[in-house]
Structure 1
Amino acid sequence: MVATAIIAAPAFAAEPPPLSLYGSLPGVERAAMSASGARVALIGRVGEKRTLVLLDEAKKPLRAVDLGDAKVRGLYWAGDDRVLLYKSDTTNLGAGFTTDRAELFTMLVIPVGQEKPWIVFDHNERITGGVQGFYGIQQREGRYYGYFGGITLEGDFRSTPYLRTTDPMLYEVDLVTGKTLEIARRYEGEGFRDWLIGNDGKVRAWLDFEARSGKWEVQNAKGQRIAQGVNRLGQVSLVGLGGTPGTVILAEEPEGQDGRWTEIPESGGEAKEIMVGTNVDHAYFDENSRQFIGWREEADRPAYHFSDAFRQKVANATVKAFPGLSVHIQGWNDAFDKLLVMTEGVGDPQTWWRVNIRTGAAGELGVSYPMDAGSVGPMQMVNYKAGDGLDIAAVLTLPPGREAKNLPVIVMPHGGPTARDYPGFDWWVQALASRGYAVLQPNFRGSDGYGVAFRRAGNREWGRKMQSDISDGLAWLAAQGIADPKRACIVGASYGGYAALAGVTLQQGLYRCAVAVAGVSDVAKLVATDLRASAYDKTMKAALAEEIGAKTDLKAISPVAFAARADAPVMLIHGKDDLRVPFEQSKAMDAALRAAGKPVELVVLPGEDHYLSRSATRLAMLEALVRFVTAHNPPDAGR
C-alpha cells in the first residue's frame, strides 16, 4: 500500500499545557441559537463553575445559571425568550423494576428574564419518571409548546394512582404556563410506539413495533395503516415529516440488506425510496413546517446538503470561510442568515463562532480548550490494510513539535463499537500527544460511517477480526517508521476498554501496558445485564446475538477468562454510577488479575457515569491514565 503523506507537526512551547486544561470541562461545551439569531445560550466554565450563560447580540450576558455537576444532554431555544436544558441523573428505582438503577431525564425551562426556572411535569402528580422522550418544540399562534413522553399513573378519584406500565403517553406542554395536555396514548403490548408531530401540534403519524414477532406498522392521523413490515432486530424508525408535503420518512435496515429511507404518503399509497446511495449522519427539519430540508453527510469532515438553494449557498460559504478545518454547523435562526458554528482541526482546539451571513462577519464566542495553536497535536486520516485485505481508516495524531519518526505510540480504539473517530480535537488524544505520544484511533470493522456492509463485517468479531484490525494499525505505523512497535500501549473506553483488555489477554506480545476505562471484561455477564434491564426483550436478545454472538461463544472472547495470560500491566478506571457498563465489570477483572498474580491498578470514580460527565472525576481519570502510561511506556526515547 502507498504510504500516506504525514503532516508536519508545528513548533510548540517546550512545556506542554497542564493536564487540567484537557481534563476539566471545556470552556464551551454546548451552545444553541434563538429563533431570531439575536441570542445565544452557551454552557461552559465561568471561573471554576460550570454555567449556562445567555448572551445578546453584543455578547452582553442576559442571565447566568450555575449548573453544578448537572449531566447536560441537550440545549434548545423556544423562540427568543426561554431556553430548554435537557439533563439526566442516576436514580435508584427500588423494588419492582427490571433494574436497580436508571438514568432519568429532566427538561428544565429557563426564561431569559428573572422568572424562576421550572421542570416539565414537575407539578403533575400523575406523571412520574421525568421526561421519557423529547419530540421537539413548535410555535403556534405566538406561543411555544414542547412535546414529551411521560409515564402516567393509573386510577381515578376513587382509587390511589398506581404504576401499571412504564410505556409513556405523549404530552403537549405550554412552555410559558407549564400546562400539560395528553395528545396520544401509549403502546399497549410488548414493544414501543414512536410519534411524529405536525406544525399544528397534532400527531401526524405513529410507528408501532411488536417485539415478540418483529412486526411493525405506521398509521396516519386517522389511524389508517400506511406501511407495515417485519424487522426482527427492531431496526426501523420514523425520521420525520418528508420534504414532499403530506409524507413521512421511515428508516429501516432489513436483515441482510442495505439500510433505506422511504417517503410514505400520509393518505396511503406507494412509498418512494429516497436518499439512495447517500451516507446520512444527521437529518435537518424546518423549525416551523417540521418538514425535511437537508442532511449532513457522514464523512471525515462534515459536508452539508440542503434542498433549498439559499440554505445550500449559506452552508457552502460557511464551510469555505474556515479552510482546512472541520466546520460543525450547530444551529441557525429561522431566516438561516445567522449561524452558530464550531470549528476544530490542526491548530484549532474547538472554537465557537456566531456567523452573520448578511454582513459576512464571524464573531468568536469562546474556545473549548484555550491553548495556542502550536500546542495542538496535528491530526489526519490515514489508511491501511487489515490482515484479510479490508481497508481500514484511522485518525493519526502526532505530538506537537516532534518528527514523525520512531515515536512511542498509544493505540486508542473507540467505544460503541458502532461509532467512529474523526480528525478533530479529542481531549484524551491531545493530552497524550502533548506528552510526546503518537496516537492512533482505528475505525476497525464494525465501526459506523463506512456503510452497512462494513458495520456488519464486525458482527460476531469481538476479540477476533475487530481486534486484529486494531493491531494491524500498529504494524502499519511501525512499517512506515512513524512508531516504535516496542513502545506501544493500548487505551480505550467502553468497547475500546474491552479492546484494551483483549489486547493484552486474547492477544500477546504487542503492548507494554493497557488502560481500560469503563471497559467490558465479561461479555456474557454484560449481555445478561442488558437482557435483564430490557425485561428479556426478544428484540434485544436477537440484536445482541447478531452483533456479539451466541451465549456459548462469549467466554472465548471475554478477557476476564484469560486474565492469567495478561502479558502487560493493566489499569482499570470505572465510574461507580455507570449504568451502561456496570462497575462490576472492572471489579471482576481486577479480582481475576490479582488472583493470577498480574500487575493491576483499579481507579474508582465516585458518582461518575459511563460518559465522564463530571469535571473532577474527568480530570482524575486523565491524571491516572497519563501517570500509568508514562510509567510503563516513557515518552522519551532514552528510557
Structure 2
Amino acid sequence: MFHRGWLAAAAAALVLWAAAAQGAPLEAYGKLPTLSNVIISPDGATLAYVKELDTKRVMVAQSIANRQVLGIINITDSKVRNLQWADNQTLILTTSVTALPRGLTGRRQEYMLAQSFNTQSKQQRALLDHVGNLKEDVEVMNVVAGVPQPRTIDGHTVIFVKGIYFPNNVGHLALFSIDLTANSTRIVSRQNDSRAEDWVVDDAGNIVAESSYDEEEQHWKLEIFRDGERTTVMDVPAPIESPSLEGLSEDGTAVIVSLPGNDGNPTYKQISLKDGTASAWAHAEVGFGGVITSLKTGRVTGGTRLTETNDYVFFDPHADRMWRSVKAAFKSATDVDLESWSDDRMKVVAHVFGTDYGEGYFLVDMTQHHASPVGPAYAGIDDVAPRRWIEYKAADGRVLHAYLTLPIGKDGKDAKNLPLIVMPHGGPHARDYPGFDWFSQALASRGYVVLQPQFRGSDGFGLDLLTAGYGEFGKKMQTDLSDGVRALAAQGMIDPKRVCIVGASYGGYAALAGATIDTGIYRCAVSIAGLSDIRAQLRYWRWPRNNVDARSDRFWDRFLAVGDPDDPKLKDISPIKHVDKVSIPILLIHGKDDTVVPYSQSDDMADELKDAKKPYEFVTLRHEDHWLSKSETRLQMLQATVKFLEANNPPDPPAPPTPVASAQ
C-alpha cells in the first residue's frame, strides 16, 4: 500500500507542471513531445530521455541521485524510434532515415539505424559497423530490422539484433552479434539464407531457435538448435498470418510460440529445447493480448491487457505486486502506462494521464513510497480534455466502441449541441490507444468533441471485429463512422449540422470517402497522407515485386475482397473516381517523403478536384514521412487543420469570464 505522502507528491507535481491555462497554444500540442523515451538504467541510478528544446533535440543521460548530466547527444536531425539501456552505462539509440542507398534498385524506403553511446567514455558507434566475418561480395549497412537485445557474456556487453546484409546486392535478414566491450561485430546466423526471419538467443548468447518462411510453399518453419544440430520442430501452412517467436520460457528450457487463433486471440505453445516436443503453455490461460519479453534475457516475463486502458500482468509475484502498487498510487488517473523499471523493480517510470493529473512522467521509488515528477511529455499544456470509452450500435446492430474526447471544461452533462470531429484511425487493421492523444486533445482544446471509433476492420478487439471489415472499405467500415455521428446526435451532445471528418493514412482515406462515397454527413473533410486511388496504391505496394514474401499482398487481397489491382470493384471504393459527388471543402495534407502512402495519392486527388472545380486546399509537408516525425511539419499540419476546421465548421465562442465580486 502507498502512503498518503506518495499521492501528495503526485498532486504537487501538477503545480510544478502548470505552465498554461485552458486552451494552450497549438505549438504545445503540435510539436514533437518536449520529453519522450524516458527510461531508467538496470541499476536504477540513471535516467535517459529525449528532450525537445527550442532549436534542437537532444538525448540526455542524467544521474537520479544528484541530477548530474552524464552525457548528452545532439539528435536534432534524427527521427528517434527507440531508446534503451544495454547496461548501466551504455545506451542504444535507434533512429530512421528516408533514403535509397547507392547501388540499390527500387524506391526510397525508411531504414532503421542503431548506435550505442557510453555515458562514461562518451564514445558513440554504429552497431552494424566493420562486420568481421563477411564472405566475399557481401556488403552490409548499419540497417537494423528489430529491437536490439543486450546480453552480459563473460563480463562483456553483447548486443544481438536482426539486420540486413546484401550478398550479390540482394537484401537478406541475419542475426548480428555486437560485442561492445571488445568492439567487434559479426554475423552469427547462416549467411546466404534468404528464408530465415527471426531468432531466439539464450542468456549465454547461443542461438537456440530460428524461424523461416518459404514463399513457394507458403509455410512457416521453426528449427531448434541442440548439440550443434538443427532440428525442425514445426512446419505449418501460413499463407497470410504466421506464427511468431515470442522468446524463451521463464526457466529458459523452452521456446514460446504464438499461433493465430480462431477467435482472433493467439494460441500459445511451448517447444521444449531438450526434445522438441510441443505442449500448452502454462500461462496461456491468463488472458492477455500480447506477451512481454525481457530484452536482457530473452525470456517471456508477462503480458499486456489492452482494452480501453493499459494494463499488464507479470508472472513473477514481486513484479506483479509492484505494478499493482504503482497503479493504485494513481487510482484516479484515466490511464497509467509502464515506461521502464529497474531490474529489481524498485524504481519505476510511469506515464500518467487524467484530468486530476494532466499528463506526464513520474519516477516512482518503491523503497521511499514516493512519486516524483520527471516532467510533462507536452510542456505548456495544463488542462487536459476528458476522454472516455463509449459504446454505440451500427445500423446493422453491431456493437461498436469509441474514444470520446470532450472539450476542456465539459463533463458530459453540459455537453449539448456541440461541433464534432470524427477521427478514424489508420491501418485500418489497427486501433486507437488509451492515454494522452495529442491530436484529439488539440482539437478538443479548440471547442470540438472528438470521436475516435473502433470500426469493423479494427484490430485488437478479436477476430470477429477484424474480419467483419473484410471487403467493407467504403461500405460498412465507412458507415460505422457516420453511425457514431447519429448516435451522438440522438443524445443531443452534438449538432449533426456541424460535423467534419479528419484522419491520417487509412483515416485520410475515410475522410475522402466521407466526402465522396458516404456523403451528406460532414461539412468538411481533412485527409492527411490518405489513400485516394486504391488501384494505384496496390500497384505501388507490389512494385518491385517481392518474390521472397508476398504475405502482405495476399492480406490486402483478402481485406479488399479483390483478386488483383485491376479488379473493377476498386473503382467503387476509390474517392478519386467519385470527385463529381464532392459538395464540401476538402483539405489535403501530405509529406513528400512518405514511403507508405505516396505523395501522388494526394497530388492526383488535388488535380482531379481542381479539374472538377471542387473546393479544396492542398498543403505539402517538405521532408516529412508518413508518421509526422518532424516538429516543424507536424505543427504545420495541425495549424493548417485547425485553421481549415475553424473556417468551415466554427466552434462555439468561448463563454464570457465569470465576474469576480469586488471587495467591499
Select between 71-80 and 230-239 the one with higher mean Cα deviation: 230-239
CA distance in 1, matches of 2:476, 2:251: 43
Partner of 2:10: none
CA distance in 1, matches of 2:192, 2:509: 36
Residues 1:139 and 2:152 are matched in the alignment: yes
- Which of 325, 329, 338 is 1:329 aligned to? 338
Asked if structure 1 preserves the Cα contact closer than 8 Å seen for 2:268 and 2:281, the reply is yes
Residues 1:458 and 2:469 are matched in the alignment: yes
CA distance in 2, matches of 1:28, 1:527: 37
Partner of 1:123: 130
Residues 1:181 and 2:186 are matched in the alignment: yes
Partner of 1:358: 367
Deviation at 1:53, TM superposition (A): 1.1
Residue type of the partner of 2:492? G
- Which of 408, 423, 428 is 1:412 aligned to? 423
Alignment of 1:541-580 (within 5 A): 541-550=553-562, 551=564, 552=567, 553-580=569-596
Partner of 1:216: 220
- Which of 491, 494, 497 is 1:480 aligned to? 491
Alignment of 1:211-610 (within 5 A): 211-221=215-225, 222-253=229-260, 259-266=266-273, 267-273=275-281, 275-276=283-284, 280-286=288-294, 288-325=296-333, 326-371=335-380, 373=382, 375-402=383-410, 403-533=414-544, 535=546, 537-550=549-562, 551=564, 552=567, 553-610=569-626
Select between 589-598 and 511-520 the one with higher mean Cα deviation: 589-598
Per-residue CA shift, 1:189-236, capped at 9, x if unaligned? 4x5421111111111101111122211211111311112211110422
CA distance in 1, matches of 2:496, 2:287: 35
Residue type of the partner of 2:278? E
Is the alpha carbon distance of 1:493 and 1:337 closer, same or farther for their aligned partners in structure 2, counting shifts above 3 Å?
A: same
Partner of 1:9: none
Per-residue CA shift, 1:35-78, capped at 9, x if unaligned? 10111111122344211111111332212211113111110101
Partner of 1:159: none
- Which of 64, 67, 77 is 1:69 aligned to? 77
Residues 1:27 and 2:34 are matched in the alignment: yes
Deviation at 1:184, TM superposition (A): 0.8
Per-residue CA shift, 1:523-559, capped at 9, x if unaligned? 1111111122552543222111111221312221111
Asked if structure 2 preserves the Cα contact closer than 8 Å seen for 1:252 and 1:260, the reply is yes
CA distance in 1, matches of 2:88, 2:104: 43
Asked if structure 2 preserves the Cα contact closer than 8 Å seen for 1:517 and 1:572, the reply is yes
CA distance in 2, matches of 1:288, 1:129: 22
Residue type of the partner of 1:27? T
CA distance in 2, matches of 1:71, 1:525: 28
Partner of 1:157: none
Deviation at 1:129, TM superposition (A): 5.3
CA distance in 1, matches of 2:616, 2:285: 48
Select between 536-545 and 485-494 the one with higher mean Cα deviation: 536-545
CA distance in 2, matches of 1:573, 1:544: 24
CA distance in 2, matches of 1:143, 1:563: 62
Deviation at 1:118, TM superposition (A): 1.4
Residue type of the partner of 2:180? L
Per-residue CA shift, 1:88-138, capped at 9, x if unaligned? 0001246653x3111111111111135331111233494225223335111
- Which of 167, 170, 175 is 2:172 aligned to? 167
Is the alpha carbon distance of 1:625 and 1:257 closer, same or farther for their aligned partners in structure 2, counting shifts above 3 Å?
A: closer
Residue type of the partner of 1:92? L
Between the aligned residues of both structures, percent identity stands at: 35
Partner of 2:199: 195
Is the alpha carbon distance of 1:388 and 1:278 closer, same or farther for their aligned partners in structure 2, counting shifts above 3 Å?
A: farther
CA distance in 1, matches of 2:291, 2:310: 13
Asked if structure 1 preserves the Cα contact closer than 8 Å seen for 2:126 and 2:142, the reply is no
Is the alpha carbon distance of 1:278 and 1:460 closer, same or farther for their aligned partners in structure 2, counting shifts above 3 Å?
A: farther
Q: CA RMSD in A?
A: 2.1
Deviation at 1:247, TM superposition (A): 1.0
CA distance in 2, matches of 1:244, 1:362: 33
Asked if structure 2 preserves the Cα contact closer than 8 Å seen for 1:174 and 1:180, the reply is yes
So what's the TM-score if we normalise by structure 2? 0.89
Partner of 2:657: none
Partner of 2:63: 56
**Structure 2 stretches lacking a partner, 5+ long:** 1-18, 133-138, 655-664
CA distance in 2, matches of 1:339, 1:518: 37
CA distance in 2, matches of 1:310, 1:272: 25
Asked if structure 2 preserves the Cα contact closer than 8 Å seen for 1:381 and 1:423, the reply is no
CA distance in 2, matches of 1:40, 1:624: 36
Asked if structure 2 preserves the Cα contact closer than 8 Å seen for 1:258 and 1:453, the reply is no
Deviation at 1:431, TM superposition (A): 1.0
CA distance in 1, matches of 2:442, 2:431: 20
Number of aligned positions between the proteins: 616
So what's the TM-score if we normalise by structure 1? 0.92
Deviation at 1:145, TM superposition (A): 0.9
Deviation at 1:13, TM superposition (A): 8.4
Asked if structure 2 preserves the Cα contact closer than 8 Å seen for 1:506 and 1:557, the reply is yes
CA distance in 2, matches of 1:459, 1:330: 34
Asked if structure 2 preserves the Cα contact closer than 8 Å seen for 1:467 and 1:502, the reply is yes
Asked if structure 1 preserves the Cα contact closer than 8 Å seen for 2:337 and 2:350, the reply is yes
Is the alpha carbon distance of 1:601 and 1:564 closer, same or farther for their aligned partners in structure 2, counting shifts above 3 Å?
A: same
Deviation at 1:81, TM superposition (A): 0.6
Partner of 2:120: 113
Asked if structure 1 preserves the Cα contact closer than 8 Å seen for 2:173 and 2:196, the reply is no
Partner of 1:102: 109
Deviation at 1:391, TM superposition (A): 0.9
CA distance in 2, matches of 1:188, 1:502: 44
CA distance in 1, matches of 2:653, 2:368: 52
Deviation at 1:419, TM superposition (A): 1.8
SS in 2 for 1:528: helix
Per-residue CA shift, 1:2-33, capped at 9, x if unaligned? xxxxxxxxxx9886211111111111121221
Partner of 2:7: none
Residue type of the partner of 1:554? L
Is the alpha carbon distance of 1:263 and 1:457 closer, same or farther for their aligned partners in structure 2, counting shifts above 3 Å?
A: same
Partner of 1:8: none
Deviation at 1:499, TM superposition (A): 0.5
Per-residue CA shift, 1:362-393, capped at 9, x if unaligned? 111110123464x2111111100011111111
